[in-house]
Chain A
């Protein structure tokens, strides 16, 4: 099984900050990685697919990078609507999610 490890688990930031979340796979997954945003009581929302491709309708302040085992999600300028929990997901071999990173207000 492929394990996904995100860091940090919690991140405190202010509006306007540049935020970076990392995700590491236990083995190479090429670029088969997605990022999701989830707000309390809501379903996850797809942000990024194939490591760096922005889903339609997602603001351009979100970007993704990486390949192999190491990936990052970057929010270039944090907005009030961005305080949420973010999950990475590999879909190279079955589907596995990271444990999540909560972005909270500093």
Chain B
């Protein structure tokens, strides 16, 4: 069965960096585009970034472009999100999610359980 397991969350000071990971299993990871989505406490869902199945194409929300980097290692079936210059407002649960196919404009059919990132001094 498809599984996505995020890790790497925790408490980080404003302005610092953090890297999240998402370990995938139960499907051919290298053939699907993958996303990161975040949800601040008590708030709605915000799309963060997408990476193509082969890792060559990446797109970001305006709010994170230039500070966050999405990447993947298809040999390890793992998705990453490098987050730099974090602000308090970016405290959220970060989810990885699978696109329904290798192409970009699709909904998300599987999600991880999320990892909480708390930005606080």
Contacts and interface: CB of A to CB of B under 8 A. Distances in A.
B87 interface: no
A7 interface: no
Interface stretch (A10-18, A19-27, A70-78, A87-95): A87-95
Given A49-B107, A91-B105, A43 B112 contact: yes
Interface string A41-59: 0111110010000010000
Nearest to B112: A43
B92 to A, nearest CB: 13
Q: Is the interface of A mostly helix, strand, loop or mixed?
A: loop
A99 interface: yes
B59 A94 contact: yes
Interface residues of A, number: 24
B44 A98 contact: yes
Nearest to B35: A95
A42 B44 CA distance: 13
Interface in B36-93: 44-47, 50, 59, 61-62
Interface residues of B, number: 21
A100 B105 contact: no
B61 to A, nearest CB: 8
A93 B107 CA distance: 12
B29 interface: no
B32 to A, nearest CB: 14
A95 B47 contact: yes
Contact of A97 (B47, B111, B113): B47
A103 interface: no
B108 interface: yes
A46 B95 contact: no
Interface of B: 35, 44-47, 50, 59, 61-62, 95, 97, 100, 105-109, 111-114
Given A44-B95, A95-B35, A96-B47, 5 more contacts: A43-B97, A87-B44, A89-B45, A91-B105, A97-B45
